[in-house]
Amino acid sequence: MGVSTDAQLCFGVSLEEETELPWNNDRYDYDCDEWWRDINGFKYSVENPFDDDGEWRTDISDITREELYDIRYTEEKVWDAAHPLPVEIVWHCSGDYQMYIIAARGTLVVARRGYPESIDPASLTVSDEDHDALIGFCEQFGFDGEPGWWLSSMWF
């Protein structure tokens, strides 16, 4: 098994190495989307099928586990489409040592090892709406830094 290294280019705010991210904890299972849903009031129409240990609950009998899971998954996707995270979270450095860039949506370009990507410099633009969403998100959640174009690498 080899090592995969990827090049990444995005417009955003590069975070300091020790920046605490509000979703990087057991409550949100290190999942930014789960955190985003929670802080914005998302609620499922069906109960949680898992116990505190992450195992299927045994007291749910009126609906199959598969149906319950499908309902919850569908509700997440519908809600996410209507309330998208206004930024992209770009993970860089390595799988063992994560660093982050909070990026404007749609600006991330990735070149996988061995697969170069052509970039038209004229395409390196950010809409006012996406720029403002990036700045607003960073201000709201206390992420400091000057936005700019960042070329980073990711080693898996």
Kindly report, residue by residue over 100-149, the tens digit of the pLDDT.
999 999 999 999 988 999 999 999 999 999 999 999 999 999 999 999 99
Residue 31's pLDDT is what?
Answer: 95
Kindly report, residue by residue over 24-59, the tens digit of the pLDDT.
999 999 999 999 999 999 999 887 777 888 787 777
CA distance 152 to 38: 30
CA distance 106 to 10: 8
Residue 151's pLDDT is what?
Answer: 96
CA distance 10 to 72: 32
pLDDT band at 2 (very low <50, low <70, confident <90, very high): low
Residue 61's pLDDT is what?
Answer: 66
Instruction: Judge residue 63's burial from the number of C-beta atoms within 10 Å of its C-beta, 0-12 exposed, 13-18 middle, 19 or more buried.
Output: middle
Query: Are 105 and 90 a contacting pair, CB within 8 Å?
Result: no
Helix (H, G, I), strand (E, B) or coil at 143: coil
Structural tokens at position 73: 């998954």
Kindly report, residue by residue over 62-102, the tens digit of the pLDDT.
677 788 889 989 999 999 999 999 999 999 998 888 899 99
Query: Are 102 and 138 a contacting pair, CB within 8 Å?
Result: yes
Indicate the domain borders of the chain.
5-25+84-155, 43-82
From 87, 91, 149, select the one nearest 123 (Cα to Cα). 149
Residue/partner pairs of 40-45 with CB below 8 Å, 24 or more apart:
40/83, 42/76, 42/79, 42/83, 44/71, 44/72, 44/75, 45/71, 45/75
Residue 65's pLDDT is what?
Answer: 74
